[in-house]
Structure 1
């Protein structure tokens, strides 16, 4: 699916204040659906220039992705990456697939926003956002604990993220 096909549909949904329908259209169009996803709900908007989405639900249980009503006021590439981030969390919290450690979940999700290994159909974001996502990935990597098993598990990806951040500086 490409933007030329998606944008008019999203604009129509937005025009009719059908934000949840637009978000559902987006995950269908970009093949982000998962059986552990129970739907979208609204969360409070942070501001007109700040975006926060969350996947909510018990580990091993269905997940609801909470979105702000102003979601589609932002750059579509950014929106797609943010939605994909949360849809990865939906998968990470699915029965039989649960990743217990929040730092590991977040590191994986930010890494995905940079390299699109799970969702290759998601477009890249600007270097500004790549740097921000890389820095968030590194923050969660550090929270795993110095020299921990988790850090060892993700040492290669950490190096990739560091190299990316340095190439953007």
Structure 2
């Protein structure tokens, strides 16, 4: 299915106020599912121009991804990347592939939004969002601690992020 067909289906779900079904349709069609995923639920919306999704649940336990009801009012490329970010958290919090450090989880998830290594079928973001999410990745890298073992582990990826941001100017 191409993005135009995906949008057609999403519009039908929206018209029938089936937002959770639309989100499930999206993860099926972009191969984002994982056995540690407990399902979608609603969270409070930010203002009309803000978008926040979260993966919630204890580490090592199934995760529920909370989405706002207005999720599909936003650009599909952005929505897909945001959902992929949270679905990566679902995988990170699986007992078989647990990533315990929050800064490491966030760095990996923002890195995924930029490079799509785990979810190659997710579309590339616009330069605006690449810069924005690249800056977030670098912020979480910094929070790992200057010269820490974690920073050393992600030195190459940090350079990739910096180079990508620089290429968007």
When the two structures are superposed, what TM-score results if normalisation uses the length of structure 2? 0.99
2:93 matched to which residue of 1?
93
1:126 matched to which residue of 2?
126
Structure 1 unaligned spans of 5+: none
Instruction: Give the distance between the partners of 2:110 and 2:42, measured in 1 at CA.
Output: 22
1:11-90 to structure 2, matched below 5 A, reads 11-90=11-90
Question: For 1:52, what is the secondary structure of its paired residue?
Answer: coil
Question: For 1:49, what is the secondary structure of its paired residue?
Answer: coil
1:161 matched to which residue of 2?
161
Question: For 1:106, what is the secondary structure of its paired residue?
Answer: helix
1:135-150 to structure 2, matched below 5 A, reads 135-150=135-150
**For structure 1, which segment, 25-34 or 1-10, has the greater mean C-alpha deviation from structure 2 after superposition?**
1-10
2:112 matched to which residue of 1?
112
Instruction: Give the distance between the partners of 1:165 and 1:85, measured in 2 at CA.
Output: 18
Does residue 4 (structure 1) correspond to residue 4 (structure 2)? The answer is yes
Question: For 2:97, what is the secondary structure of its paired residue?
Answer: coil
| Root mean square deviation of aligned Cα | 0.6
Instruction: Give the distance between the partners of 2:132 and 2:156, measured in 1 at CA.
Output: 19
Structure 2 unaligned spans of 5+: none
Question: For 1:6, what is the secondary structure of its paired residue?
Answer: helix
Q: How far is 1:5 from its partner?
A: 2.1
Instruction: Give the distance between the partners of 2:44 and 2:57, measured in 1 at CA.
Output: 17
After superposing on structure 2, the runs of 4+ consecutive aligned residues of structure 1 that deviate more than 6 Å are: none
Instruction: Give the distance between the partners of 2:4 and 2:75, measured in 1 at CA.
Output: 14
When the two structures are superposed, what TM-score results if normalisation uses the length of structure 1? 0.99
Q: How far is 1:4 from its partner?
A: 2.1
